[in-house]
Structure 1
Amino acid sequence: MDKHPYDTYYRKLLPALVSKVEEFKLFEYHTVSIQTLWHYLTKKKWKVVQEEPAVSKLVSDVLSVKPGDYMSFTQVSAYKSPEWGTPLSDEEMTKLFEPRKNSE
């Protein structure tokens, strides 16, 4: 995994990351995780690195991630992935065809 200059802020940003992941899951985005959200932030949102960013600015960046932006990024990343033709594992197939829980 490539090192990003903001990796040093990861521990400080962890509560915001957890909060955002929980928010996404409330909106039925169950595939989001702290790692995938961090990947989005470091590869997309923080492409241009500021030398000494304010932690409050980074927290704001985390909390302002929109589901549509995140999902677009993950879809484009998946299309660019060299593993596009790789067969799914049994676990991935099970998850893919797992019935959705009704939220009624």
Structure 2
Amino acid sequence: MLKFTDQYDAVLPALESKVAEFHYFQYDTFTTEDLWQYCLKKKWKKKDIGEMRIHEMVNDIMDIRASDFVAYNQVEGLKSGSWFTEGNMADLEELLRPSHKKPKSI
């Protein structure tokens, strides 16, 4: 996992502001660390983070739209998620073998 602690500390107020904005719009699960990882892995994937200026980083952070961030997290979840983990097995069993309840008559 990439860190860049000095840069993270420098842009933390911008990250916190953006996370507060997302929370205002009911996206309550986002954290500053999630947003930071999004920037490192998506927005700045082809950039040398060590050479970026702070104002560039802050501008990129403030330009992030919630829809882009949500879409990225959904794709990452699909890539990394194990569909057949122990916790998901009950859901999978229910999906494949639903209970055979008779529909109520009206």
State if a TM-score over 0.5 links the two structures. Answer: yes
SS at structure 2 position matched to 1:85: coil
| Partner Cα separation in structure 2 for residue 19 and residue 58 of structure 1 | 14
Which segments of 5 or more consecutive residues in structure 2 lack a partner in the other structure? 89-106
Map 1:7-46; keep pairs closer than 5 Å.
7-46=5-44
Indicate whether 1:69 and 2:68 are aligned: yes
- Structure 1 runs (4+) greater than 4 angstroms displaced: none
The letter of the residue matching 1:21 is V
| Partner Cα separation in structure 2 for residue 7 and residue 85 of structure 1 | 35
Which residue of the partner structure matches residue 92 of structure 1? none
Instruction: State how many pairs are aligned.
Output: 86
The letter of the residue matching 2:41 is K
Normalised to the residue count of structure 2, the TM-score between the two structures is 0.73
**Structure having the higher Rg:** 2
Task: Please give the root-mean-square deviation of Cα atoms over the aligned residues, in Å.
Answer: 1.6
| Partner Cα separation in structure 1 for residue 84 and residue 58 of structure 2 | 37
Normalised to the residue count of structure 1, the TM-score between the two structures is 0.74
User: Which segment drifts farther, 29-38 or 76-85?
Assistant: 76-85
* Pair 84,14 (structure 1): closer, same or farther in 2 beyond 3 Å: farther
Which has the larger helix fraction? Answer: 2
Deviation at 1:82, TM superposition (A): 4.1
Deviation at 1:85, TM superposition (A): 3.1
Which residue of the partner structure matches residue 48 of structure 1? 46
| Partner Cα separation in structure 1 for residue 79 and residue 2 of structure 2 | 20
Deviation at 1:52, TM superposition (A): 1.6
